[in-house]
Structure 1
Amino acid sequence: MRHGLLPLLAELRPGYEEATVQAAMVRHEQKQEHLKYVTSYVKEQMTDRGLPLEAIQKLPTDFRRLVLRTLLPDHDFTSEDYNRFLTLLRVDMPSGEVYYGNWRIQRTYGYVTCVRCPEKNLLPEALEVGIDLGTYHYGEQTITFSRTTTGIPFSAVQFPLTIRSVLPGDRIRLAVGTKKVSRILVDAKVPRASRAEIPVVVDAAGQVLAVIGHRIAIFGSFELFAESCLMIEW
């Protein structure tokens, strides 16, 4: 190319070298201005829940690509990376996620978030709770078990209890029937990637007694019981 095509171009279009360099400089300045605008726009639109999907969709397609650059400014992206991001924005589903290195960009219930993935995706080990009860720490949660006059009747519980992560098929007893724990977390709009981090308390028979942060099992009308009960607080 250097010895064959470029001399031919110089003959056909004198001064093309300077024009090409100038065009590249103008294009670079435009891209920097666009990136500066999108960075400011993302900062203005960002909320505690993340960046509203609606705000991103108001941007032209080229500017939507730059949202990815704004979220991960230290990364180099290929055209395929940008296409995956645009696809995440287009898919008509309540949630989705794409990964770039150890970063996860997630779309959940109309918001886009960007979080660093832990180097080791390990959940805390299950904890056993004996009849002495007390306070336990599971991940970032503090859970207290105590004996009171209201709560889950001890006659309905088999010890030891276990604090663990949610498992497929877990169900919790409610006032009428039972409900899947996974459905409770969906209804609470817990992001899919965070649902495995929600602890549950189960007894020795496998009954889910509590979904920490969200729900406690209901075993009849507690007020009618004269016996002592188990209270689970967080």
Structure 2
Amino acid sequence: MPNVLVAVSGGLDSVVLLHRMVQQGHDVAIAHVHHGQRRASDEEYRFVERLACAYGVPFHGTRLELEAASQSAFREARYAFFETVMREHGYRELMTAHHADDVVETVLIQLHRNVIEVTGIPERRPFGSGTLVRPLLDETKQRLIEYAEHHNLEWREDATNAKTDYLRNEMRHLIIPELQAEWPTLVQDVCTAARLNREIWQRRYVAMADWMARHVRFEMKAFHVKLPTLATLSEEERHVLGRLLSQRFGVQVAEGMTRLMRSKRGTGVYDVGGDFRLEKRDGSLALTERGRLSIPSPQRVETLPERVTFGEHVVSLEVTDGGRGFPLDALEWPLYVRAPRPGDRISLSVGTKKVARVFIDAKVPKEKRPLIPLLVDATGRIIAIVGIRVSDFPEKSDARCPRLMVK
């Protein structure tokens, strides 16, 4: 039973890879994808099928039904097919024919797109139920041509590869030849640099996994990390942290983490898709489920004036010399800003009233009620439902007593 699946397009690179694997005694199978975009694809499909027959190896082929799709969409569909074949037939490795010239193209594209992790193409990485392997990364295109000619191999040329409509083809046919004219060792030098950079980034991932275990608090479907701790990381370290957290939760948190960190506001929310969102609050960055409210922690107030950030609300507490407001000597200190609790009641001139009923009367949306800040004193008496209603509990002082104003 073969344990290696070789992706064969019918082009020179994959034909050479297949020939080498067979010559070296590997037990292989072939996977081929008909993209359904060119007339020549029918003949290429039959050609690869004949190769499988000639080598006496299993053949797995499919035709994609995508209309006017992007290159990335075709790539995703192609690799989804490879993954399905591996899972259904028990292949442990998928081999592709990427080579050294492809590494140079990829590095230049990464630089062009301002990618932070410029590492070219890795030789191995986890893929589906097994591993994706690229055995030809040390081989130049010219060496593959020489190998094919030496062994009298037959292959098919995709005419679209000669066009410069796509960035990769533009790099291949226009930019890299000019660079090589001035820099003959371009391919070898770039491949070496990419390999060294991959090793640096691998060490960063190992170190960040250890940092994450010490500084990030995980729950079943959430995480919390203190903003001051997060601020000590470099841009590269935060990038790695974002990648590791994205892998763990299956959503892309890196961009949201960067935006919330750069924001000068003390609170913020970033939708990361799926059932999750990132929240910046209470000096922490947290990933929470969309349907699950994240209630801010109670905030203690011991001195005035004071501004208290409570979730997305800012509570301003000021002192006046008399008139409107709460007499300070009628309050039991310290004060607290907290979220509503079941059974909360506020004192009014006509008696007490449930806070829940105040919300209903004020037509506060149900989903916002748990996040409305309440100002209470040390005895638990509610001084104000901030922004909605203030308490009328009896005064103990004359009109000249300093007063608390809540805004």
Name the TM-score, length of structure 1 as normaliser.
0.47
Task: Choose between structure 1 and 2 for higher RCO, CA contacts under 8 A separated by at least 6 residues.
Answer: 1
Which structure has the larger Rg?
2
